[in-house]
Amino acid sequence: MNLTRRGAFGLVASGAASSLILPRFALAQADNRPSITIAVQKISNSNTLEVLREQSNVGERVFFSSLWEGLIGRDWMGELKAVPELATEWTRISDSVIELKLRQGVKFHNGDEMTAEDVVFSFGSARMFGDTLPVAQGRTIQVRGEGIPTRAGRDLPAEVPAVARRSWPALERVEAVDKYTVRFHNATPDVTLEGRLSRYGSQIISRRAYVEAETWFDWARKPVTTGPYKVAEFRPDQSLTLVAHDEYWGGRPPVKQIRFVEVPEVSARINMLKTGEAQFACDIPPDQIGGIEADRKFEVQGGTILNHRLTVFDKNHPQLVDARVRRAMTHSIDRDAIVESLWSNRTEVPKGLQWPYYDDMFIADWSVPKFDQAEARRLLKEAGYKGDPIPYRLLNNYYTNQTPTAQVLVEMWNQVGLNVQIEMKENWSQILERSPTRAVRDWSNSAPFNDPVSSLVSQHGPNGQQQQVGEWSNDEMNRLSVELETGTDRARRKVVFRRMLEIAEREDPAYTVLHQNATFTAKRRDIAWKASPAFAMDFRRGNWGG
């Protein structure tokens, strides 16, 4: 008789259940923890819960810090600084090697203990990198075919190793020193290894659960991780139900069940809150805050986060090949007017694609292109622009205030003679589809850790999304990306970063920053919970109750 490992476990469980008589008091005990419902604009762009496929603002909300955890975490309720999570400490062995001590006694959602074996597998070819190799020279990773055969005997979607190499371009291997110690070996020097360990995509999974899943999609829709909540049911485009992981290393979670419900319309989300169908409603536009808080039973929390809203250019479009046209578009935007009129001054215009928490890498005297309509008209005349249409692909309020912002932008561009025309799309696949009409789109960029590598290089460098989808490339930018990633001289790295901003934001615009993003969540006032300065919602002990 042949038994699979899963089948054997089932027989053991069945036998135990038939002979075990539970104590009477155990049966009588009730779980009095609350169950909550959260109305969100969207749950997942990819219809999966795999963090290496779902790199999105909406994914961050449901993944962290409920489901996925990494070796190094982020203080979601503080200043988002790096904190010990599944590792208790870490030590630099060299410029390219870091050693971490694992937290002992951590249980996965399937009851297995997390060990170095799981960490090594999480960063291995079967789950993360496929047949791609570490890159030391900044070349774009070419992923062959629609899927990559892996040792686990399934097809790994091509975008998974693409995202993995965006996060870890030069990771060579992870070594298990002993059961609770691992070493990460990079192919190049990298001053950001600690940051990379805390970023999206560097979370730890159960090796056994991954290998035993029937297909990759079975895994990706019910991943087995270490977080305080585990997946009970995922209905793509509808809802996600998480239940408490009572063996969580950080203590018994305070909420019994969390149900995220996908509700695209703002008014419907607010109505669910007011009628009691939901206890939280996310992605609230600033102009709705006063109306919600007029009823003292509710309040709205939130503010600016480490994410900037961008307008992104495809320099291959005939009307955008000339950088002067793109530069004209950047000078046509009155960003302060957008912040005042659409955001009620609850956000601000940042100093380009960077954040003060970069510390000594922050370029304090940088600025976005100034609002100068005369300069915009001069550039268009010099470029010989004749008023031909420039398509603007748009989603319907995926981002808060996205549609009204687009309408304002089109009017601002029209005022200087730019003929920008909105094309409404249903999903990101349609937005990114390569075709002659791809020209302008919306995006946002986060800073997963406090170094410009985390955003400018990760999103716009040789392995970044803009170059992977074929929108934009610049040879000097790519050379400097490698230097920024591998350099150890911080003064030189700051000079390189400034030059990269000059290229991507002024000389050969890849994008232009509109404003710092902000997120607002409406909730019942009697629920003792605090919003973090991020999309993530923290429902762990310490952020729930009195």
Q: How high is the pLDDT of residue 488?
A: 95
Report the SS3 class of residue 72.
Answer: strand
Q: How high is the pLDDT of residue 159?
A: 87
Q: How high is the pLDDT of residue 196?
A: 96
Report the SS3 class of residue 515.
Answer: strand
Cα separation of the two ends of the chain: 55
pLDDT of 431 above 50: yes
**How does pLDDT run across 113-125, given as a tens digit for each residue?**
999 999 999 999 9
For residues 25-32, average pLDDT? 66
pLDDT of 12 above 60: no
Q: What count of residues does the chain have? A: 546
Percentage of the chain beyond pLDDT 90 is 84
pLDDT of 356 above 50: yes
| Confidence bin at 135 (pLDDT 50/70/90) | confident
Q: How high is the pLDDT of residue 108?
A: 98
Q: Which of 109-123, 145-159, 191-205 has the lowest mean pLDDT?
A: 145-159
Q: How high is the pLDDT of residue 78?
A: 73
Q: How high is the pLDDT of residue 76?
A: 79
Report the SS3 class of residue 502.
Answer: helix
Strand 280-281 to 511-524 pairing: antiparallel
Q: How high is the pLDDT of residue 152?
A: 43
| Structural element, H or E, at residue 492 | helix 490-502
Q: How high is the pLDDT of residue 136?
A: 61
**Alpha-carbon torsion (441, 157, 426, 336), positive or negative:** negative
| Confidence bin at 133 (pLDDT 50/70/90) | confident
Q: How high is the pLDDT of residue 154?
A: 57
Q: Which of 62-66, 246-250, 484-488 has the lowest mean pLDDT?
A: 62-66
Average pLDDT score, the chain: 91
DSSP 249-280: TT---S-SEEEEEE---HHHHHHHHHHTS-SE
Q: Spell out the alpha helix ranges (H) of 124-202.
A: 159-167, 193-198
Report the SS3 class of residue 176.
Answer: strand
pLDDT of 106 above 70: yes
Q: How high is the pLDDT of residue 545?
A: 84
pTM, entire model? 0.88
